[in-house]
């Protein structure tokens, strides 16, 4: 049985390891197939793939697309789409622009609360990132002694409802499912009952997303208690959705998310690849092949 971990972040977004280093760490942790799913960017694919081939580690290229539904943040994992698809690229570009534009606004808010953090402080923490996030501001707060760690920075200032919180553009999840399918890829709803998304992702809404073309549900994730996982597994069965599990590893940026701590079963992985193949054929796009040695 291979250890299949389909949701991880490199420093192209808010993980702390460069893509090649992430692949090396995955190999060392015994991961056989790694999904690279940086927030709203495909920037790490090439570097990760080269290292995966060198080490003989499987790689499934993807991204975690930031969506919003009913004012609540919802994350959509997108696997194996054509990275050059114009419409999908336009959506991701818009999200990244929103991410970049938000940082100075966050710094303004923080300044009103007596915190003196400069754009350079944030740049220092996000040199390699194509996709900026609050975790980079959190790292800057830590570096300047305003917080102990990322979590502390979020709890004090950056989480929704805290004084440094600023909203940004995020597309509708059903719309993203359509775009990813048109680009020949498949979507898996990330940690649907995690943090805030449990407020909007009712069984009914997940049913609607399934009818819109969602391929799978990320069931086994740190943010889900065992009874939540059991219920989601049942729901996936009812809706004919693939069940995945993953670490959502962020390097040292998140504790309790070690590589391979949750994983996807072989059968479910095969079903996901099947659906990706069908989507690729239907779309007629030039989609990336997963690297599976
Ligand atoms: P953003 O992408 O800028 O909206 O920031 C959200 C990201 O920050 C999530 O994807 C997590 O990786 C991270 N995050 C959210 N809440 C926390 C927290 N309490 N502690 C550490 N990281 C967090
Ligand atoms: Zn993240
Ligand atoms: Fe997420
Ligand atoms: Fe994630």
Reduced to 3 states (helix: H, G, I; strand: E, B; else coil), residue 211 is: helix
The token duo for 178 is 């359509």
Measured in Å, residue 242 CA sits from the centre of ligand 1 at 25
Measured in Å, residue 46 CA sits from the centre of ligand 3 at 22
Measured in Å, residue 220 CA sits from the centre of ligand 3 at 13
Q: What is the pLDDT of residue 195?
A: 85
Q: What is the pLDDT of residue 36?
A: 99
9 CA: nearest ligand 1 atom? 12
**Which ligand is closest to the CA of 249, given by its number?**
4
Tens-digit pLDDT profile for residues 100-118 = 999 999 999 999 999 999 9
Query: What is the spatial distance between Cα 131 and Cα 14, in angstroms, rounded to a whole number?
Result: 8
155 CA: nearest ligand 1 atom? 19
**Which ligand is closest to the CA of 95, given by its number?**
1
Measured in Å, residue 11 CA sits from the centre of ligand 2 at 10
In the chain the first and final C-alpha atoms are separated, in Å, by 14
Mean pLDDT by runs of 10 across the 293 residues of the chain is 98 98 98 98 98 98 98 98 98 98 98 97 96 98 97 97 96 98 98 95 98 98 98 98 98 96 98 98 97 98
Contact indicator for 191, 72 with CB cutoff of 8 Å: no
Q: Which residue out of 37, 67, 75, 134 has the highest number of ligand 1 atoms within 8 Å of its CB and is therefore the one to mutate?
A: 134
135 CA: nearest ligand 1 atom? 8
Is 134 close to ligand 1, i.e. is its CB under 6 Å away? yes
**Which pTM was predicted?**
0.98
Domain regions of the chain by residue span: 100-158
Measured in Å, residue 230 CA sits from the centre of ligand 2 at 25
Query: What is the spatial distance between Cα 153 and Cα 135, in angstroms, rounded to a whole number?
Result: 9
Is 136 close to ligand 1, i.e. is its CB under 6 Å away? no
Query: What is the spatial distance between Cα 168 and Cα 258, in angstroms, rounded to a whole number?
Result: 29
195 CA: nearest ligand 1 atom? 16
Measured in Å, residue 187 CA sits from the centre of ligand 3 at 13
Q: What are phi and psi of 185, to 5 degrees?
A: -110, -175
Tens-digit pLDDT profile for residues 161-191 = 999 999 999 999 999 999 999 999 999 999 9
Is 15 close to ligand 1, i.e. is its CB under 6 Å away? no
Contact indicator for 110, 138 with CB cutoff of 8 Å: no
The domain defined by 100-158 folds into: DNA polymerase; domain 1 (1.10.150)
Is 162 close to ligand 1, i.e. is its CB under 6 Å away? no
Query: What is the spatial distance between Cα 5 and Cα 8, in angstroms, rounded to a whole number?
Result: 8
Query: What is the spatial distance between Cα 287 and Cα 250, in angstroms, rounded to a whole number?
Result: 26
Measured in Å, residue 135 CA sits from the centre of ligand 1 at 6
Reduced to 3 states (helix: H, G, I; strand: E, B; else coil), residue 35 is: strand
Q: What is the pLDDT of residue 240?
A: 98
168 CA: nearest ligand 1 atom? 4
The token duo for 71 is 């004012």
């Amino acid at each position: 049985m291979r250890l299949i971990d389909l949701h991880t972040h490199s420093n192209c977004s808010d993980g702390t390891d460069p893509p090649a280093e992430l692949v090396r760490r995955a190999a060392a942790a015994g991961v056989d197939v790694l999904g690279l799913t940086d927030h709203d960017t495909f920037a790490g694919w090439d570097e990760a793939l080269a290292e995966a081939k060198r080490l003989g580690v499987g790689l499934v290229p993807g991204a975690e697309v930031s969506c919003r539904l009913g004012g609540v943040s919802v994350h959509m994992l997108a696997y194996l789409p054509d990275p050059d698809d114009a419409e999908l690229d336009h959506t991701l570009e818009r999200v990244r622009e929103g991410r970049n534009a938000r940082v100075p606004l966050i710094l303004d808010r923080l300044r009103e609360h007596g915190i003196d953090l400069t754009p350079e402080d944030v740049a220092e923490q996000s040199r390699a990132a194509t996709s900026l996030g609050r975790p980079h501001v959190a790292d800057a707060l830590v570096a300047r002694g305003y917080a102990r760690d990322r979590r502390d920075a979020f709890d004090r200032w950056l989480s929704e409802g805290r004084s440094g919180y600023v909203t940004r553009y995020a597309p509708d999840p059903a719309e993203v499912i359509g775009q990813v399918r048109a680009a020949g890829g498949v979507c898996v709803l990330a940690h649907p009952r995690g943090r805030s998304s449990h407020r909007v992702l009712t069984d009914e809404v997940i049913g609607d997303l399934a009818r819109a073309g969602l391929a799978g549900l990320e069931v086994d994730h740190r943010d889900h208690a065992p009874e939540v996982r059991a219920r989601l597994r049942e729901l996936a069965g009812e809706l004919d959705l693939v069940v995945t599990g993953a670490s959502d590893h962020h390097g040292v940026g998140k504790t309790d998310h070690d590589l391979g701590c949750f994983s996807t079963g072989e059968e479910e992985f095969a079903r996901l690849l099947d659906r990706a193949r069908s989507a690729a054929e239907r779309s007629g796009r030039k989609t990336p092949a997963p690297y599976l040695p």
